[in-house]
Amino acid sequence: MGSLQLKSVRKSFGPVDVLKGIDLDVKDGEFVIFVGPSGCGKSTLLRIIAGLEDATSGSILIDGAEVSAVPPAKRGIAMVFQSYALYPHLSVKDNMGLGLKQAGAPKAEIEARTKKASAMLSLEKYLDRRPAELSGGQRQRVAIGRAIVREPKLFLFDEPLSNLDAALRVNTRLEIARLHRDLKATMIYVTHDQVEAMTLADKIVVLDGGVIQQVGSPMELYNRPANLFVAGFIGSPAMNFIDAGRLGRSDATTIGIRPEHMTLSRESGEWTGKIVHVEHLGADTIVYLDSEKAGLLTARLFGEHHYQTDEFVHATPNSGHLHRFNANGEAIR
Amino acid sequence: MSKARTSLSRTALVHAALIAYTLVAVFPVFLTIINSMKNRNAIFRNPMQLPTPSTFDLVGYQTVLGQGDFALYFQNSLIVTVVSIALVLLFGAMAAFALSEYRFRGNTLMGLYLALGIMIPIRLGTVAILQGMVATGLVNTLTALILVYTAQGLPLAVFILSEFMRTVSDDLKNAGRIDGLSEYSIFFRLVLPLVRPAMATVAVFTMIPIWNDLWFPLILAPSEATKTVTLGSQIFIGQFVTNWNAVLAALSLAILPVLVLYLAFSRQLIRGITSGAVK
């Protein structure tokens, strides 16, 4: 009851092309995350799906029906905004019920659905409060509740966690994951935070420069990035890229190796280098070294390791985890 | 302002300056009111003196209220002012919303055109306005005054309100659109309540020149039935003899309605004036 298809959707603001032909299929019940650096067009794409912006060309189908000419309220969608966007003069209850009231639903039904949604989000205590009397986390829960009450075909989230502090962000993330399991609804979620993308998504859509770079499950993107951009964007710290020529390899232009797929040793190894900086995170130790052969490298070691800056060490890449890219930046498989 | 940064001498200086300004601003009003309650000799001999039992005299008020027409003049002034403010706020806010919310060709040009009236005094067009009113048969009606004052107030209203409307969150309006609110409901139910302080500011700035205006009532509506308070008070000012008691009493009475309207708006006004600076 909630599939979405985008067919060569383009959007330009004057001479600036923001989206350059987006094709995408979202199946019923999928949790899809649009991720990308700022300015990549992910929010614009979401707003086009919502109907808040018109696409310059292309078509948008929700449940197989063309909706390009349908106003937002009639598309069967609900949206959660970064800034919560609660109606300041309405109580929590009325905020949640406004959409149904506008659609002319009977009072009893509005009441029942509001009750159900507020129970799901443990908001019962706050139903008569105004948004100004709530904390940031509670406001975002109300905003999510407002979306749930509408029982939409598609949930749209526009960076819903960006305004919350770190601890609340984790809690709300878990809550959204639980909601997705309980409601089995189709959700489309925009974020620039790859942790959110990796932890929540069934399918991640990586966007850059108005073009889809890769679509896949979190582990597909991590293990088999389609190009240099995706390889560098997914994973933290970012993948090391080494000029293949410097390593004497002719089967690729660039070689990529993730920091966690390298081993360090004081005795012997492939690349020798001087340690520039060490970060101790407890669970991980991140070592930055400047090697003669491969340039600046990042290695992520699990557990505590007592390396010193200016120490010489040998790094060895785990050969099964090497990524090869051609001159166009595409992965060679 | 944090406590740590305010020293006593600084606070004292600020208060001294504000008190001095308040005295300067309030003094003419005070003078008008005390003298309106004195007899004619006392007004001229001791203008600064408070009314004493021997000089206390309400003859001015008796003259003004005894004329009978004054109630009508007040009513005219109130109708003209309140209706003009209402129209300025309604149309100004609507124009401002369109300018700040919708992208369309010529948006900036339209904004500049609507703000042009701030720089060009409407009185320059008096002759043309009078001709227009004569042609449409609106001379000596309150409608004529209301139309002119609405036109006079709109440019500033559009200018101030469109700046404020830009600050209303886009997400909020979009949330309304998704919930199925029409553009009119978004305007009336979401945006207007949020720009209330700005509306109050505009209302006060619009109200005072209209209430005090002598020019247009004199030219467009000088008939007995359409006189406003400012025009009505002129009957006591003659070329050779001026009935000061009556003039002062009329002025004192004229202050009252403005004061009431101002108090109604002032709570909002303070937020309106400071919100741009503090945020």
Q: What is the pLDDT of residues B241-253, one digit of tens each?
A: 788 888 888 888 8
* Interface-testing mutation among A12, A13, A52, A150, with chain B (most B C-beta atoms within 10 A): A52
CB atoms within 10 A of CB B232: 22
Q: How far apart are CA A93 and CA A102, in angstroms?
A: 14
Residues 114-173 of A with CB under 8 A from B: 146, 158
Q: Residue B186: closest CA among chain A residues belongs to which residue?
A: A87
pLDDT over 50 (residue B99): yes
Numbers of helices and strands, H then E, in chain A: 8, 19
C-alpha separations of A6 from A26, A35, B4, B237 in Å: 9, 17, 58, 78
Cβ–Cβ contact A79 with B under 8 A: yes
Q: Is residue B204 helix, strand or coil? A: helix
Residue B41 has a pLDDT of 84
Question: Does the distance separating the beta carbons of A89 and B175 come in below 8 Å?
Answer: no
Residues in chain B: 279
b/e per residue A204-230 (b: at least 16 CB within 10 A): bbbbbebbbbbbbebeebbeebbbbbb
Q: What is the mean pLDDT of chain A?
A: 92
Element (H, E) at B143: helix B142-166
Do the Cβ atoms of B158 and B166 come closer than 8 Å?
no
Do the Cβ atoms of A137 and A172 come closer than 8 Å?
yes
Packing angle, helices B244-278 and B8-36, rounded to 10: 150
Q: How far apart are CA A260 and CA A315, in angstroms?
A: 12
Domains with residue ranges and CATH for chain A = 4-230 (3.40.50.300), 239-332 (2.40.50.140)
Residue B56 DSSP label: B
| List of chain A residues whose C-beta atoms are within 8 Å of the C-beta of residue B177 | 51-52, 71-73
Model confidence at B115, in pLDDT bands (50, 70, 90)?
confident
Nearest to A103 among B171, B180, B190 (CB): B180
- Using alpha carbons, select from A287, A247, A251 the residue that is nearest to residue A271: A247
Q: Which two tokens stand for residue B19?
A: 């008190």
Cα A299 to the center of its chain, rounded Å = 25
Q: How far apart are CA B237 and CA B248, in angstroms?
A: 11
State the average pLDDT over residues A30-39: 93
Question: What ipTM goes with this model?
Answer: 0.84
Q: Which two tokens stand for residue A222?
A: 């991590």
Model confidence at B6, in pLDDT bands (50, 70, 90)?
low
Nearest CA-CA distance, residue B189 and chain A, Å: 9
State the average pLDDT over residues A103-119: 92
Amino acid of residue A54: D
Across B42-115, the runs of DSSP E, i.e. the strands, are none
Q: How far apart are CA B214 and CA B73, in angstroms?
A: 13
Cβ–Cβ contact A78 with B under 8 A: yes
pTM score: 0.80
Residue A238 DSSP label: P
How do residues B151-198 score in pLDDT, each as one tens digit? 999 999 999 999 889 888 889 999 999 999 999 999 998 898 888 888
> A295: phi > 0 → left, psi -120 to 50 → alpha, else beta; which?
left
* Residue A225, φ and ψ in degrees, nearest 5: -65, 140
> What value, to the nearest 5°, has the Cα angle with vertex A37 and ends A35 and A42?
50
Task: Tell whether the torsion through CA atoms of A231, A237, A239 and A241 is positive or negative.
Answer: positive
| List of chain A residues whose C-beta atoms are within 8 Å of the C-beta of residue B190 | 87
pLDDT over 70 (residue A320): yes
| List of chain A residues whose C-beta atoms are within 8 Å of the C-beta of residue B184 | none
Distance spanning both ends of chain A, measured CA to CA: 37
Do the Cβ atoms of B157 and B202 come closer than 8 Å?
yes
- Using alpha carbons, select from B57, B177, B240 the residue that is nearest to residue A102: B177
- Using alpha carbons, select from A207, A226, A210 the residue that is nearest to residue A326: A226
- Using alpha carbons, select from A184, A192, A257, A141 the residue that is nearest to residue A29: A184
Amino acid of residue B227: K
Domains with residue ranges and CATH for chain B = 1-57 (no CATH), 61-278 (1.10.3720.10)
Strand order in the sheet with A203-208: A77-80, A154-158, A186-191, A31-35, A203-208, A211-216
Nearest to A98 among B172, B179, B194 (CB): B179
Q: Is residue A37 helix, strand or coil? A: coil
Q: How far apart are CA A277 and CA A262, in angstroms?
A: 16
Residue B279 has a pLDDT of 33
Cβ–Cβ contact A328 with B under 8 A: no
How do residues A36-62 score in pLDDT, each as one tens digit? 998 899 999 999 999 999 999 999 999
Residue B182 has a pLDDT of 92
* Interface-testing mutation among B104, B107, B171, B182, with chain A (most A C-beta atoms within 10 A): B171
* Pairing label, strands A211-216, A203-208: antiparallel
Amino acid of residue A159: E
| List of chain B residues whose C-beta atoms are within 8 Å of the C-beta of residue A83 | 169, 171-172
Q: How far apart are CA A190 and CA A219, in angstroms?
A: 19
Do the Cβ atoms of A269 and A314 come closer than 8 Å?
yes
| List of chain A residues whose C-beta atoms are within 8 Å of the C-beta of residue B172 | 83, 85-87
Q: Is residue A184 helix, strand or coil? A: coil
Task: Tell whether the torsion through CA atoms of B268, B270, B273 and B279 is positive or negative.
Answer: negative
Amino acid of residue A97: G
Q: How far apart are CA A114 and CA A95, in angstroms?
A: 10
Residues in chain A: 333
State the average pLDDT over residues A200-219: 94
